[in-house]
Every structure is written in C-alpha cells, then in structure tokens.
C-alpha cells in the first residue's frame, strides 16, 4: 500500500488491484477471439502480454477495462470499492485536438465531476511527472509524437488509477523516444505501486519493462508461456544491452516462434 | 487589413478583365446591348437606382440571413436528434432528404398560400433550400467520432450529454462549418426564388426589370445578390477560422 500526495494536499490510495480471469470467452460473430482464458494478476504487478497480431491481445485488454463484455467466464477485480480505478492508454495518443495539453490531461477528472480548481492542480502535478510542464498551454497539433503520447499517459495517470492498461502505446514512436518513455513508465510504476498490464508485439519492450510476461497463442487467446523475468527492479538503458535481458528475450522469442 | 486586400487582388484581376472585355465587345457591336448591357450601363443603373436597389438588397439580406440562421439551428438540432440512434436515423432521415429533393420553384406558390405575400414566404423558401446540407454534414460529423475517444468517455462514466458537448459536437465542428458554408449560398438563392413568387427584394426587382427588358437592372440586381452570397461565405470563413485555427488542419499554415 502506498499513498500519493498531490500538490492540492489530497492523498489518494494508489495501490494496485488484483485480477482473476477464469475461463473467459469472447467471439465476434463467428470468429472466436478468446476461448477459455484463465489468468491471475497480482496486485501491483507489471505484466506484459505478448502475441502476434490478431491473437486477441487488445480484446483481452478491453475485457479487463470493461469496454467489451465476455461471452462467458468470470472477471474479478479486487478490491472493487473504487469507482473509475482503471485507466487505458491507446496505441495512438487520441487527444482532443481542440483542447490544450492541460485541459486534455484534466479531462478524466472533469468527466468524473471533480471541481475545476482541484482538477487543474492534479493535471499540473501529473504533467510535471511526465515532464510536460513547459508545454501545458500548447495544443496537440503543436506537439511531437512523443510529447502527444506523454500527454496521453498523463491523462491516464491523472485519476491515480489502480490499474493501468496500455495497448501498444509506444509502437508508433521512434526508438529513442520509446526507450525514454519505457524508462519513465517503469519509474512511475515503482513510484505509484499500481498494477500495470502492457500489451505489445515487441519482445524487447516486453522483456525490458515487465516483471512477468505471458505469450498468447496465435488463435483463441490461450497462454503459451507464463514467465517471471529475472531482472533488476530499476531499469535503465544499460540493461538494454545486457546478457540478462538477452537471456529473457531468448526465452520469449522461443515461445513466440513455437507453433500454435 | 493590408494582407486581406492583398489576398483579394488575384480574385479581382479576372473580374476586371471580363468587365473590360464585355465593355469592349458591346461597344464594338459584337454583342447587342439589349441582350447584355455594357458594364458601364450596369454601373450607371446602380448609381441612378441605388435607393430602390439597396432597399431591395436590405430586404433580401434579412430574409436570407433569417432563413440561414433557422436552417443552421434547425439543421444542427435535427442532426443531433438523428444521431442519437440507428433506428431513429432509419425512421427519419429519408424525410430530411426530402428537403434536398423538393423543387423549390414548384412549391413556392404553395408557400405564398401558407405564409402570405411577403417576408415570411421568402424566409421559408430560404430555409427549405438551405437546411439539408447542414443536416447531412452535421450528421456525418457526429457519427464519425473517434471510437477510441468514445471508449475513453465511457471508461470515465461520461453522461450522453457530456459526450455530446465535450466530444461529439466539437469533433464534428469542421463538418458543421462545411455544411454552413454550402447553406449560406443556398439561402441567398432560396430568398431570391421566394421573392420571384411572393416577396419584395432583389428577386422581385429582377422579375420586374425582366418584363421591362431592362437587362442593365437585371444585371445590377444579380450582381448585388452575388455580393450578398460572397459576404455570407466570407462571414462563415471568419467564423471557421476563429473556431478551428488552433487545432484543425484546414485552418492551419
């Protein structure tokens, strides 16, 4: 359990939630995307979900977010007491182009009915956390791709979520920007103690970011590999070229290449 | 101000060339003056009959503007209603299309019977002709909201009205303004048609001048009507610039 203090003096519960998915199934028309998936995620865990395109990664994430209802099976998130505890980061930034960076970051609080003064204070804090204080009165069209993604990340973090879901968020960015955001995301996770589920098709990114990685089967969303990654808690660029990371990547790669 | 004038220069050049060419063609006897009056005669008429012409312009302007304002408000409201569900769209959209297909010249006499001879008929005609592009464009805009952003609003429990005002409506603004731009020109046409049948204004000036073989006056009135259309178009462009300049590609660079 960790407590975060905001500039406005509010303290907000930020410990992660635990997830239990049991025999979850989902089909779109005749296409079975996920059949019989069982998965447990501990509170405060950083989990990467790997798999080829079309294996149901995004659908799984959307089921967890409550945006897609499963056809069968159960999903339990504990504790269940907090409303709006889940945040979602999409593949592209998806900002509101007519709003400034600050107004974009404050949007979730606005929709939840938080008072203006408080939501501005909290959005300011969160923008500082992603290194965007300078750009807060700019419009999305005036930002680089990396900065836009930072705003998107700030928008997700502003509610102090206990579950952060990311769907290939940095896939469209150049490598250096992606490396920086990887490190920042990992640090934010350490500071906040939330549960993070990160969907990606990049083996490097999964191994670098997560403490546990699962590889999904090509069809039907089964779990092919479930592996704890034996890497230091604090990740930096030196780790990127280390034999330890190479070792973990090899294991993930082998599972990805395996038939099925 | 200087910049705006500079932008107007390229558009003024063809106008000058055509005007001078017409003047020359008529004076040289290539075109009969009773068919196409020389531009100098049109200008003379405009100066001589300015009281009558400008009174007509004022009336046509107010009717076209009121008709335009009604279709802007009504069209957006109807599109919001239509966008609320697929079933509603299927039930009512065909009737909205009616506005586009209705031959205004054929139903204008009916409008005179309903609304009497005067301003109300002219406004109704401008309204009927100009509402459809507002409905169609607004509806397209409201229905093409980014699905990821709709998910985001759902995730934070946004009410339908919050989703409409904070997401769908601003996202549709570029299309709404495109609809208004088309509607502006159509409202002027609708007003002129209305005045042909049952009103006072540039349309009736044209109608009367035509029966008197006064092509110079017809041209003077038509010129003023096009200036009115241009002014309305310019007004919507300014509106669009103010609303979109910070975020939409169409108003940048």
The percent of residues in chain A predicted with pLDDT above 70, rounded, is 92
* Closest-CA residue of chain A to B251: A141
Both tokens assigned to B244: 């979109």
What integer pLDDT is reported at residue A4 of this predicted model? 45
Which letter does DSSP use for residue A201 in this model? S
Contacts with A66 from chain B: Cβ below 8 Å: 155
What integer pLDDT is reported at residue A9 of this predicted model? 43
Closest in A66, A67, A111 to B162, CB measured? A111
Task: Specify if B163 maps to a domain.
Answer: yes
What integer pLDDT is reported at residue B246 of this predicted model? 83
Contacts with B167 from chain A: Cβ below 8 Å: 96
Q: What average pLDDT does the segment B219-231 reach?
A: 93
Contacts with A64 from chain B: Cβ below 8 Å: none
Both tokens assigned to B43: 């200008």
* Residue B185 banded pLDDT, cuts 50, 70, 90: very high
Shortest distance, CA A112 to any CA of chain B (angstroms): 6
* Residue A82 banded pLDDT, cuts 50, 70, 90: low
Measured distance CA(A226)–CA(A239) in Å, rounded: 22
The percent of residues in chain B predicted with pLDDT above 70, rounded, is 98
> Could you tell me the end-to-end alpha-carbon distance of chain B, in angstroms, rounded to an integer?
18
Could you tell me if A168 and A88 are in contact, meaning their C-beta atoms sit under 8 angstroms apart?
no
Measured distance CA(B149)–CA(B166) in Å, rounded: 11
> Does the structure show a pLDDT above 90 at A51?
no
- Each residue's pLDDT tens digit, B48-92: 999 999 999 999 999 999 999 999 999 999 999 999 888 998 898
> Under an 8 A CB cutoff, do A96 and B170 touch?
yes
Measured distance CA(A102)–CA(A124) in Å, rounded: 7
Task: Specify if B27 maps to a domain.
Answer: no
- Each residue's pLDDT tens digit, A144-172: 999 999 999 999 999 999 999 999 999 88
Task: Specify if B223 maps to a domain.
Answer: yes
Contacts with A107 from chain B: Cβ below 8 Å: 152, 156, 166
Contacts with A88 from chain B: Cβ below 8 Å: 151-152, 155
Could you tell me if A34 and A64 are in contact, meaning their C-beta atoms sit under 8 angstroms apart?
no
Considering only CB atoms, which residues of chain B are within 8 Å of chain A? 146, 148-149, 151-158, 162, 166-167, 170-171, 173, 246-249, 252
What integer pLDDT is reported at residue A81 of this predicted model? 63
Measured distance CA(A128)–CA(A154) in Å, rounded: 9
Residue B91: how many CB atoms within 10 A of its CB? 11
- Each residue's pLDDT tens digit, A215-244: 988 876 678 899 999 999 989 888 999 999
Which letter does DSSP use for residue B102 in this model? S
Residue A150's φ and ψ, nearest 5 degrees, are -65, -40
Measured distance CA(B244)–CA(B238) in Å, rounded: 10
How does strand A46-50 pair with strand A163-167?
unpaired
Highest mean pLDDT (candidates A124-128, B4-8, B22-26):
A124-128
> Does the structure show a pLDDT above 90 at B11?
no
* Closest-CA residue of chain B to A161: B156
Q: How many CB pairs under 8 A join A and B?
A: 56
Could you tell me if B71 and B187 are in contact, meaning their C-beta atoms sit under 8 angstroms apart?
yes
Q: What average pLDDT does the segment B10-32 reach?
A: 89
> Does the structure show a pLDDT above 90 at A53?
no
Closest in B155, B171, B249 to A65, CB measured? B155
Which letter does DSSP use for residue A140 in this model? G
The verdict on A217 touching B (C-beta cutoff 8 Å) is: no
How many domains, in total, are found in chain B? 1
Measured distance CA(B146)–CA(A131) in Å, rounded: 27
> Under an 8 A CB cutoff, do A141 and B146 touch?
no
B127: domain range?
A: 47-248
List the CATH number of the domain containing B130. 1.10.3720.10
CA A171 to chain CA centroid, Å, is 13
* Residue A10 banded pLDDT, cuts 50, 70, 90: very low
What integer pLDDT is reported at residue A1 of this predicted model? 40
> Does the structure show a pLDDT above 80 at A84?
no
> Under an 8 A CB cutoff, do B155 and A112 touch?
no
More confident site: A218 or A181:
A181
The interaxial angle of helices B215-244 and B169-198, nearest 10 deg, is 170
The verdict on A4 touching B (C-beta cutoff 8 Å) is: no
ipTM of the complex: 0.88
Could you tell me if A48 and A214 are in contact, meaning their C-beta atoms sit under 8 angstroms apart?
yes
- Each residue's pLDDT tens digit, B149-177: 999 999 998 999 999 999 999 999 999 99
Task: Specify if B36 maps to a domain.
Answer: no
Q: What is the mean pLDDT of chain B?
A: 91
Measured distance CA(A75)–CA(A212) in Å, rounded: 20
> Under an 8 A CB cutoff, do B247 and A140 touch?
yes
Q: What average pLDDT does the segment B220-249 reach?
A: 91
Task: Specify if B30 maps to a domain.
Answer: no
What integer pLDDT is reported at residue B136 of this predicted model? 94
The percent of residues in chain A predicted with pLDDT above 90, rounded, is 65
The verdict on A98 touching B (C-beta cutoff 8 Å) is: yes
Q: What average pLDDT does the segment B208-224 reach?
A: 93
Task: Specify if B192 maps to a domain.
Answer: yes
Half-sphere CA count of A196, side-chain side, radius 13 A: 31
Q: What average pLDDT does the segment B239-244 reach?
A: 90
> Does the structure show a pLDDT above 80 at A63?
yes
Measured distance CA(B245)–CA(B241) in Å, rounded: 5
> Does the structure show a pLDDT above 80 at A245?
yes
Q: What average pLDDT does the segment A195-214 reach?
A: 94
What integer pLDDT is reported at residue A3 of this predicted model? 46
């Amino acid at each position: 359990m960790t407590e975060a203090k905001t500039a406005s003096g509010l303290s907000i519960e930020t410990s992660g939630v635990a997830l239990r998915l049991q025999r979850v199934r989902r089909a779109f028309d005749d296409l079975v995307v996920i059949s019989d998936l069982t998965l447990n995620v501990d509170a405060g865990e950083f989990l990467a979900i790997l798999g080829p395109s079309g294996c149901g990664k995004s659908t799984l994430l959307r089921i967890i977010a409550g945006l897609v209802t499963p056809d069968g099976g159960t999903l339990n998130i504990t504790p269940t007491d907090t409303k709006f505890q889940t945040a979602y980061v999409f593949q592209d930034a998806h900002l509101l182009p007519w709003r400034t960076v600050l107004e974009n970051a404050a949007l979730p609080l606005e929709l939840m009915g938080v008072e203006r003064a408080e939501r501005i204070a909290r959005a300011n804090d969160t923008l500082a956390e992603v290194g965007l204080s300078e750009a807060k009165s700019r419009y999305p069209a005036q930002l680089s791709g990396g900065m836009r993604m930072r705003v998107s990340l700030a928008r997700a973090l502003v509610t102090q979520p206990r579950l952060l879901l990311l769907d290939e968020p940095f896939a469209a960015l150049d490598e250096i920007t992606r490396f920086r955001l990887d490190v920042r995301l990992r640090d934010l996770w350490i500071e906040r103690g939330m549960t993070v589920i990160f969907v990606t098709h990049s083996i490097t990114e999964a191994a670098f970011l997560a403490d546990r990685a699962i590889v999904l089967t090509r069809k039907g969303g089964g779990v092919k590999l479930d592996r704890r990654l034996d890497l230091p808690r604090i990740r930096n660029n030196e780790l990127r070229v280390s034999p330890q990371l190479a070792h973990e990547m090899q294991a993930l790669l082998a599972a990805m290449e395996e038939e099925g | 101000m200087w910049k705006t004038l500079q932008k107007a220069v390229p558009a003024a050049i063809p106008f000058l060339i055509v005007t001078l060419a017409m003047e020359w063609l008529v004076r040289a006897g290539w075109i009969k003056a009773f068919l196409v009056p020389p531009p100098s005669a049109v200008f003379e008429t405009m100066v001589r009959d300015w009281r009558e012409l400008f009174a007509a312009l004022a009336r046509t302007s107010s009717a076209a503007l009121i008709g335009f304002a009604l279709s802007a408000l009504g069209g957006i409201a109807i599109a919001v209603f239509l966008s609320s569900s697929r079933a509603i769209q299927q039930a009512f959209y065909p009737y909205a299309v009616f506005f586009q297909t209705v031959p205004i010249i054929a139903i204008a006499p009916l409008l005179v019977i309903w609304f009497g001879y005067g301003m109300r008929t002219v406004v109704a005609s401008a309204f009927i002709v100009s509402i459809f592009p507002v409905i169609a464009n607004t509806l397209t805009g409201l229905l093409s909201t980014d699905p990821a952003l709709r998910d985001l609003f759902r995730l934070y429990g946004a009410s339908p009205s919050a989703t409409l005002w904070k997401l769908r409506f601003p996202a549709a603004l570029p299309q709404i303004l495109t609809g208004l731009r088309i509607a502006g020109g159509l409202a002027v046409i609708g007003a002129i048609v209305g005045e042909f049948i049952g009103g006072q204004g540039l349309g009736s000036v044209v109608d009367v001048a035509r029966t008197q073989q006064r092509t110079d006056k017809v041209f003077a009135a038509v010129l003023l009507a096009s200036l009115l259309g241009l002014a309305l178009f310019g007004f919507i462009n300014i509106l669009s610039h103010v609303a979109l300049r910070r975020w939409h590609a169409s108003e940048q660079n």
